[in-house]
Amino acid sequence: MDILIDTIKDTFVIIPILLIMYLCLEYFEHKNTSYNITHYLTSYGPIIGALLGIIPQCGFGVLASMLFMNKRISLGTLISVFIATSDEAVPILLTNPELYTSLLSIIVTKFILAVIVGYLVDFLFKSQYSDQPDISSNHCHDHSIVVEAFIRTFKIYSFIFIVNFSLSYAIEMIGSEKLSYILLDKSMVQPIISAIFGFIPNCAASVILTQLHINQVLSMPSLLAGLITNAGLGILVLLQNKIDIRTLVRICTILLLSALIVSLPLQWFFLH
């Protein structure tokens, strides 16, 4: 029951974000109107994505994933949101004044990294948008804009809720003590394991990583690695919309490399 309540609290807040986004998408699809801000998003997308990502709200990862699947933002912008996102880590660290230095370092590092990697990805991958067909182009308009927006919101939220609850239950069953052993305290391998752990598409992942850091089990570089790869519920949205596997592997590879390039040198200095 506690896990169910926590899942409702973690996911309920994304409903209005999904609904507003779908209302906008439905409007443009009904009117057969395309966005005229492609150049603007191409030029400033990674910066905008990084700014939105640092806001402690997992809904922006969901929003970015949906916009990417609808070919409204570039791959670089999506990556910038994912890298900058920290979900529940920020509010948890804010409750511990002695960790404000770590919090500031994490936010600044993730923002700078998100912008750099976002622009680099857009430069290297000339195809600016999702490789698979625009999911909005195959959408039939049988109802009013509001009704269709509610239907699409309900479908994606149901999927997110079920998977989020299942993952939270699994993490609870493993327990924090076993996770601390798995994450190999005070080791150069710790950032790698933490980064892999961060791929769990669940807000609970960032909570666990942050709590382990507070308990001095997880180093700051390792926490940073896990928060860079942890895109929250954004990955779930990509999976729910059956994203092309090559694109998904590309996204995960970029996130993992970004996390390790930054965290491993920091971990070496931390241990020495």
- pLDDT-wise least confident of 34-43, 56-65, 138-147, 195-204: 34-43
Overall size of the chain counted in residues: 272
pLDDT of residue 212: 80
Percent of the chain residues topping a pLDDT of 90: 21
Confidence of residue 34 (pLDDT cuts 50, 70, 90): very low
Residue with the two structure tokens 């993952």: 167
Q: Confirm whether pTM is higher than 0.85.
A: no
Alpha-carbon distance 237 to 69, whole Å? Answer: 9
CA distances from 6 to 3, 134, 226, 236 (A): 5, 34, 21, 18
Identify the weakest region by mean pLDDT among 13-27, 127-141, 170-184.
127-141
Predicted confidence at residue 44, as pLDDT, reads 79
CA separation (Å) from 244 to 49, 63, 208, 216, 219? Answer: 22, 18, 30, 39, 35
**pLDDT exceeds 90 at position 114:** yes
Determine the average pLDDT of the residues in 196-215. 79
pLDDT for residue 35: 46
Joined tokens for residue 145: 């804009």
| Average model confidence (pLDDT) across the chain | 77
Q: Is the pLDDT of residue 121 over 90?
A: yes
* pLDDT bucket at 183, cuts 50 / 70 / 90: low
pLDDT tops 50 at residue 27: yes
Residue 239, pLDDT above cutoff 80: yes
What is the model's pLDDT at position 5? Answer: 80
